[in-house]
Amino acid sequence: MGSFDTLRASERLEAAGLPPGQARAIATVFGDAQADDLTRQDLEIALAPLRTDLLLLRWSTGLIVGGTIALLLKAFA
């Protein structure tokens, strides 16, 4: 993702007829909004611990169910 050039945007807005203060404010808002955008990589990094926890939970559940079935088969065999 490229960076947003607020100075260039502000100058283009002024050239289009906006007052300098308003042009700077609009360019700043767009620059801040782009800086806050999350990328797919940001989401992958944020979700990595959750995926690890879910994998551990899945394995633990499988072991518990398997152990329970083994005990039931031993008790009734």
Can you give the pLDDT at residue 3? 76
Rounded to whole angstroms, how far apart are CA atoms 25 and 7? Answer: 11
* Dihedral sign computed on CA atoms, order 17, 20, 21, 24: positive
CA 75, distance to chain mean position in Å, is: 49
Can you give the pLDDT at residue 44? 86
pTM comes to: 0.47
Q: So where are the chain's domains? A: 1-37, 39-77
Rounded to whole angstroms, how far apart are CA atoms 50 and 59? Answer: 14
What pLDDT digit, counting tens, does each position of 8-57 carry? 999 999 999 989 999 899 988 888 877 767 678 887 888 899 989 999 99
Can you give the pLDDT at residue 41? 83
Can you give the pLDDT at residue 35? 72
